Structure 1
Amino acid sequence: MDNYIANVIPHLQQWWPVIILLSYLFGLSFGVISLVQAVSQKHRFNRSVAVWTFWAAVLLLNLPSLMDALSMTVFNQTSEQSLGYSPPSSPGAIYIQFAVYAIQIVGVIGIARGVCLLRDTPNQAMNFSRGIVHLFGGTLAVNLVSFLRGIGATVGGDVQTYVAKIIG
């Protein structure tokens, strides 16, 4: 079973550039949509949708920088440091590395989803809070190792010992 998971881990790492490229694609499409909405006579009185769509385009086109800004704000490290996790050599390290990478991929998708939810804020006001929750949750997922180390350092005792054994 270890061999199968060891073979999957490099493929998980290859999804990060794909997700970043998809965010660029969505960012470009949102940029075009915002320009069309801004000059359209049909949407003349609803310019806030065009402004929010433009901001979503800018954030998606700068997703790595947005992830770095969120990571630096909360965890004082860049997202590149977080995405480059390598577990300590111990029994089951492959499984831990697989789980961390899978959670980090979900975090990157969560950050992009949060930006897309923020884009729909003028149409549905409750999307603002959902978008913020996705941004914060995605940041925690991308920085899972730092988050768990922080919890271990805060609680201390057995929790800190177990976290250190599991993730290093």
Structure 2
Amino acid sequence: MENYLANVLPHLQQWWKPIILLAYLIGLAFAVLSLTQAVNPRHRHGRSGAALTFLAAVLLLNLPSLMDSLSMTIFNQSSEQTLSYSPPSSPGSVYIQFAVYAIMTVGVIGIIRGVCLLRDSAGQPGNFSRGIVHMVGGIIAVNLITFLRGIGATIGGDVQSYISTILG
């Protein structure tokens, strides 16, 4: 099983670029949509919906910068440092690396989902808080190693030693 995961890991990392390219395409679609909403007088949400759609387009078109700014705000490190995680060589390290990369991938998708929910907050005000939660949860998932090390340093004792043993 370990050999299978070792073969899958490089391909899992390759999904990050298509996911970010998909965010760019969604951002372009939102930009066009915001322009049509701004000039259409019969639009349901008026100018605020067009402005939120344009804001979502800008955020999605600058997704790596958004991830970096969120990572620097919460964890004081860039997301490129986080996405280049390699565990120490130990038995089961392939499983840990696979789990970390899968969680990071879900985190990037969560950030994109959060921006899309923020765009919909003009029509449904409850989506604003859901979008913020998705963005914060996504950035925690992208910075999983730093987050777990911070929890270990906060609690200390056995928890810190277990986290250090597992993550390196």
**TM-score calculated relative to the size of structure 2:** 0.98
Counterpart residue identity of residue 70, structure 2: L
> Aligned equivalents of 1:105 and 1:82: distance in 2?
12
Unmatched 5+ stretches in structure 2: none
- Which residue matches 1:59? 59
Identity of aligned residues (%): 72
Q: Which digits, 9 at most, give the CA deviation of each residue in 1:30-83, with x for residues without a partner?
A: 000000000112228711100000000000000000000000001010000000
Matches of 2:43 and 2:137, distance apart in 1: 33
- The number of aligned residues is 168
| Residues 56-135 of structure 1 mapped to structure 2, 5 A cutoff | 56-135=56-135
Amino acid aligned to 1:14 = Q
Question: Given the superposition, is the C-alpha separation of residues 62 and 84 from structure 1 closer, same or farther in structure 2, using an over 3 Å criterion?
Answer: same
Distance 1:159 1:40, change over 3 A: same
Partners of 2:7 and 2:167 in 1: CA distance: 20
Residues 38 and 44 of structure 1 are in contact (CA less than 8 Å); yes or no, is this contact kept in structure 2? no
Residue in 2 that maps onto 1:141: 141
Deviations 1:101-148 (A, max 9, x none): 000000000000000000000100000000000000000000000000
Distance in 1 separating the partners of 2:103 and 2:10:
15
Q: How many Å separate the matches in 1 of 2:116 and 2:30?
A: 9
- The alpha-carbon distance between structure 1 residues 125 and 100, as it changes in their structure 2 partners (threshold 3 A), is same
After TM superposition, where is structure 1 displaced by more than 3 Å over at least 4 residues in a row? Answer: none
AA of the residue aligned to 2:87: P
Q: Does 1:3 find its partner at 2:3? A: yes
